[in-house]
């Protein structure tokens, strides 16, 4: 039985519409239009509503990611938004418009941030150790830190870690350990050292590069990575989350991997899809996930 997760109502974010391979979103006071390859249906809102966007991203010819933003006068290139949940999780994020259509935040991960926050608070360890791999701008890192974890945040891009640090400071947090590393190399070293963590978070890309040019291909590396993560998990006190956004990477593949590598989690694990819903209640799929805690 698969689980479907979506974002809870959020004052500073909403998916207004999606269609024609685009999505229209509001981040705080600003509306952005950018590509979305899975929105293959027609938009719900009229073109006049899309034209209200403060910034529109246009892809370069021959590229699926790289392009340029057309920004209306008076629209800042960076701004802050708030994030607050009834369980006590309260963060702030700095957004910015990158040349790869991203803005520094994946709002669909809201249910996973809540999972991380609440699972961290459930740990029996006085100060749970949490490792966030492929950590990007750190929303998951901050969810764990806000719950009292000793967090190691690892990403291969130095500038992304600086961005994550800005989010930490905006959220009135501190004490995160920042690493610019290749995830696979670091995890192998941690296994050799006998390190254990009460929380492990992975959000790997389909393709990526380490800081020294190391290659990451999801379908080639994920099986080994999950096996190494099993070695790092505290067997008595842990939570685990893996999120994948790769077109064509079925939840069935993730289920097979987890079934073989983490058989002890069969009774507590959730596997399924994560999505955003727009104002017309259409569901935009944005990845697969597996998570569990003991």
Asked whether the beta carbons of 33 and 127 are under 8 A apart, the reply is: no
Non-local (6+) Cβ contacts of 10 within 8 A are: 83, 107, 110
Q: Note the pLDDT of residue 64.
A: 66
Q: Which single residue is written with the structure tokens 């910015």?
A: 96
- Domain membership of residue 70 (yes or no) is no
Query: Residue 254's CB: how many other CB atoms inside 10 A?
Result: 20
Domain with residue 144: its CATH number is 3.40.50.150
Angle at 236 between CA 230 and CA 239, to 5 degrees: 60
Task: Mark out the alpha helices in the chain (DSSP H runs).
Answer: 47-50, 110-122, 139-146, 158-170, 183-193, 218-232, 251-261
- Total domains in the chain come to 1
Pairing of β 129-133 and β 22-27: unpaired
- Domain membership of residue 158 (yes or no) is yes
Asked whether the beta carbons of 153 and 176 are under 8 A apart, the reply is: yes
* Its pTM surpasses 0.85: yes
Residue range(s) defining the domain that contains residue 268: 106-293
Non-local (6+) Cβ contacts of 194 within 8 A are: none
Q: Note the pLDDT of residue 207.
A: 84
Q: Note the pLDDT of residue 249.
A: 82
Tens of pLDDT, residue by residue, the chain (294 residues): 899 999 999 999 999 999 999 999 999 999 999 999 999 999 999 999 999 999 999 988 776 678 899 999 999 999 999 999 999 999 999 999 988 889 999 999 999 999 999 999 999 999 999 999 999 999 999 999 999 999 999 999 999 999 999 999 999 999 999 999 999 999 999 999 999 999 999 999 988 888 888 888 999 999 999 999 999 999 999 999 999 987 778 899 999 999 999 998 988 999 999 999 999 999 999 999 999 999
- Domain membership of residue 76 (yes or no) is no
For the beta sheet containing 13-19, the strands, ordered from the edge strand earlier in sequence to the opposite edge, are 13-19, 22-27, 30-35, 55-59, 67-71
Q: Note the pLDDT of residue 100.
A: 83
- Domain membership of residue 54 (yes or no) is no
- Domain membership of residue 89 (yes or no) is no
SS3 114: helix
- Domain membership of residue 79 (yes or no) is no
SS3 171: coil
- Domain membership of residue 7 (yes or no) is no
- Domain membership of residue 97 (yes or no) is no
CB contact burial 144-157 (16+ within 10 A = b; e otherwise): bbbbbbbbbbbbbe
């Amino acid at each position: 039985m698969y689980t479907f997760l979506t974002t809870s109502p959020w004052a500073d974010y909403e998916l207004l519409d999606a269609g024609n391979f685009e999505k229209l979103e509001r981040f705080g006071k600003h509306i952005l239009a950018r590509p979305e390859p899975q929105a293959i249906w027609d938009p719900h809102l009229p073109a006049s509503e899309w034209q209200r966007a403060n910034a529109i991203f246009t892809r370069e010819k021959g590229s699926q990611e790289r392009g340029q933003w057309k920004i209306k006068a008076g629209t800042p290139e960076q701004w802050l938004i708030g994030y607050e949940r009834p369980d006590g999780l309260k963060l702030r994020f700095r957004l910015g418009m990158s040349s790869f259509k991203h803005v520094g935040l994946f709002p669909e991960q809201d249910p996973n941030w809540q999972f991380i926050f609440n699972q961290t608070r459930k740990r029996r360890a006085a100060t749970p150790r949490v490792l966030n791999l492929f950590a990007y701008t750190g929303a998951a890192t901050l969810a764990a830190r806000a719950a009292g974890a000793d967090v190691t945040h690892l990403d291969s891009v130095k500038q992304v870690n600086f961005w994550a640090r800005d989010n930490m400071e905006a959220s009135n947090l501190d004490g995160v350990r920042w690493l610019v590393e290749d995830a696979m190399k670091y995890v192998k070293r941690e296994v050799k050292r006998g390190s254990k963590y009460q929380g492990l978070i992975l959000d790997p890309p389909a393709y990526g590069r380490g800081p020294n040019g190391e290659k990451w291909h999801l379908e080639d590396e994920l099986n080994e990575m999950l096996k190494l993560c099993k070695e790092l998990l505290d067997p008595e006190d842990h939570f685990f989350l893996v999120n994948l956004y790769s077109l064509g990477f079925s939840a069935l593949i993730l289920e097979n991997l987890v079934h073989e590598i983490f058989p002890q989690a069969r009774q507590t694990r959730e596997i399924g899809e994560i999505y955003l819903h727009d104002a017309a209640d259409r569901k935009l799929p944005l990845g697969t996930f597996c998570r569990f805690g003991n």
